[in-house]
Amino acid sequence: MNDILKSNYKSPPGLVIFLNGTSSSGKTTFAKALQSKLEEPFMVVSLDTYLNQLSKEVLGNNKLLGSLLPNLLNGFNRGIAAVSAAGNFQIVDHVLQEPQWVLPCVKALKDVPVIFVKVDCALNELKRREKARGDRAVGMSEYQYPRVHQHGIYDIEVDTSTMSVEQCVNTFKRYLYSGAQPQAFVRLQESDDI
């Protein structure tokens, strides 16, 4: 393990790299690229994978799924904290699409070292990707776009519509190995605006 990383993020708890962005913004591609390029062993944990443990019937019932979401998100967030507490490093692929999702997430991870990463992408590119993928409800990224970054506080930002995956990874690695102390989750815990 890199000495700089070890000195900044003693284990346990393990470091969490928390990627937040809309559907089709490139979080999963970025997460997998980071995982393969970082010296340390990171697990990739995805909200999509977590929710896809539900049946197709539940996932297709918006009313039922909406009623389950608070408990599901609570479990997902607590799971991230528990895995970190055991000393594991994680890259979390999440979408904090509703303002009321931010504070419970931040509070669940209050004892965890978190680097909060804004994964941005231009709306026209999100729409193009969404249409090309064909596995997302049309309009999902447009719905999420004005909401997902409303809190406005991050440790680092990448833009997948103007940066290649390699540029995003290199930007993140420079931050990670710089010795910077991430403060976004700490500031969000103290914020009255969320």
Please list the ranges in the chain whose pLDDT falls under 70. Answer: 1-11, 134-136, 192-194
Provide the 10 A C-beta neighbour count for residue 126.
Answer: 25
For position 1, what pLDDT does the model report?
43
Distance, CA of 36 to CA of 24 (rounded, Å): 20
Would you say 96 and 20 are in contact if contact means Cβ atoms under 8 Å apart? yes
For position 141, what pLDDT does the model report?
87
Q: What is the pTM of this model?
A: 0.91
Ordered by where they begin, the domains of the chain are 3-183 (3.40.50.300)
For position 130, what pLDDT does the model report?
85
For position 74, what pLDDT does the model report?
96
Q: How far is CA 52 from CA 46, 66, 116, 159, in A?
A: 10, 14, 24, 27
* Beta-carbon contacts of residue 96 (< 8 Å; ≥ 6 apart): 20, 102, 105, 148, 151
For position 192, what pLDDT does the model report?
63
For position 12, what pLDDT does the model report?
75
For position 10, what pLDDT does the model report?
56
